[in-house]
């Protein structure tokens, strides 16, 4: 089974999940930088895959991490990676659709999300990637919009969400959607562009 080093962690993955992208260490690092001044409470990772981004975010913080994914392979690999890196005591996993596995009253300090963002019509361009992990619907943003809704619903006041997208055009679309959907409760505050994608910070 292939593995790689991610944020100093030994991460195992296989063909059933998206291969961890080294550039997404930036998402873990950004989350870790936000946590010292974030509200109390756990971190939430949506669309967890192998669990590397969430684990990288909390590894030096002592924060609890709740991971969510619809893919049973993600649960298997995330828990395996947590145990292999001495983080099992901080981790819990929810298997299912992300809009269905969180309780109404749950609140999180920081939410990280790596949803699929490839347009359905373009997934064939990436034959090495599992379709479940990359198919974001007609405009690539179906699950990203769901992540925004859940961030609005489950972030503590003063909390932040870090969402991975494909490009700045998608970030602009999500910024407009966030403003309309949340009526100002949540706002896209910053976008950081990388060679392989974009990270945006939404704050409550």
CATH number of the domain that residue 42 is part of: 3.40.50.150
**How many residues would you count in the chain?**
204
For residue 80, name the pLDDT band (cuts at 50, 70, 90).
Answer: very high
Alpha-carbon span 24 to 10, nearest angstrom:
15
- Average pLDDT estimate for 98-124: 90
For residue 198, name the pLDDT band (cuts at 50, 70, 90).
Answer: very high
Calculate what percentage of the chain has a pLDDT beyond 90: 83
pLDDT digits (tens, 9 = 90+) for 43-78: 999 999 999 999 999 999 999 999 999 999 999 999
H/E element holding 134?
helix 131-134
Please give the tally of structural domains in the chain: 1
Q: What is the pLDDT of residue 4?
A: 95
Three-state secondary-structure class, residue 11: strand
67: exposed, middle or buried (C-beta count within 10 Å: 0-12, 13-18, 19+)? buried
Give residue 193's domain range: 3-203
Q: Considering the entire predicted model, what is its pTM?
A: 0.94
């Amino acid at each position: 089974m292939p593995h790689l080093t991610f944020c100093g962690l030994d991460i195992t993955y296989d063909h059933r999940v998206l291969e961890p992208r080294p550039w997404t260490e930036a998402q873990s690092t950004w989350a870790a930088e936000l946590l010292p001044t974030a509200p109390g409470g756990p971190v939430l990772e949506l669309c967890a895959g192998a669990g590397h981004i969430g684990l990288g975010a909390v590894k030096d913080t002592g924060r609890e991490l709740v991971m969510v994914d619809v893919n049973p392979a993600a649960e298997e690999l995330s828990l395996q990676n947590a145990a292999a890196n001495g983080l099992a005591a901080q981790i819990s996993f929810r298997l299912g659709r992300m809009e269905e596995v969180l309780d109404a009253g749950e609140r999180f300090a920081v939410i990280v999300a790596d949803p699929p963002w490839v347009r359905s019509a373009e997934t064939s361009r990436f034959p090495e990637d599992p379709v479940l992990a990359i198919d974001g619907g007609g405009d690539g943003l179906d699950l990203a919009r769901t992540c925004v809704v859940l961030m609005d619903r489950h972030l503590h006041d003063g909390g932040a969400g870090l969402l991975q997208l494909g490009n700045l055009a998608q970030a602009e679309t999500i910024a407009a959607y966030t403003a309309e959907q949340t009526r100002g409760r949540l706002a896209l505050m910053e976008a950081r562009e990388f060679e392989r994608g974009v990270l945006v910070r939404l704050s409550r």
